[in-house]
Structure 1
Amino acid sequence: MHELSIARSLVEQAVDAAADHGAERIDRLELEIGEATHLNPDQLTFCVETVAAETPAAEADIAVTSVSPEGVCDCGWSGRPAEIQDLPMAVPDLRCPECDSRLELTAGTECRLARISVPETDDTT
């Protein structure tokens, strides 16, 4: 299950970012997952929760935003591909609707920690 190794990396990034800002707790993790990654958002959420159990992110809410694929073609076409085949572990072979050349994806392949939320601190002390 590659979601587990991805989850481990995402949680490590969040914990490091929180520590850099002096936060002892993470309240929320916001993830962006591209539809062309073929990652299952529910499985990834479960894995993040599992990996985070003994970290400052143990009680964090997890929000996953799905990112739609966008592509460009050498012929000048750009936009949203008509469909992405739901083939696990396969690189999508997306074709330009204008010239039938292979599209280059510009969005929809991301898997990233977009934002973390930590408790506000009182800097007046």
Structure 2
Amino acid sequence: MTAFVHKTLLVQLCSEGTGRCPVLAHLRYDADDPFAVTAVFGHDGRVLACWRLDREMLSEGLARPVGVGDVRLRPAATGAWHELRMEFLGDVRPDGGRQQAVVFAWAPAVAAFLRETHRIVPPGQERAPVDELLAEILSAG
């Protein structure tokens, strides 16, 4: 039996000129892919984006700024409200700029999701089936 955790959060998508717009974020963790969390963002029944996030990076982003590539995370606070700021950089536009989306999630909800994933596969006990993958690749040739 595959162990997984799924949580749906109401998050805020921040875009230029429109401010914050509520969207759903479906977070999924599967023990068969122990290093990753899949985040699917949707609105009005449409998928806006799907990202695979590093579980450890997601956890660290609750406490400090992390990420230097297409995904950047950091804590953000507005008074007593603690959020996780997630910045996603997309494809290059014709003008040379990059598409960008900023999402704010309630940090305690993300932390609760991560605690559930840690019960399934504790940090540091993740295993990747490298030997099995290499055997499969070598047997195919």
TM-score by length of 2: 0.23
Q: Which has the higher helix share?
A: 1
Q: Which has the higher strand share?
A: 2
Larger relative contact order (CA 8 Å, sep ≥ 6): 1
Select the structure of larger CA radius of gyration: 1
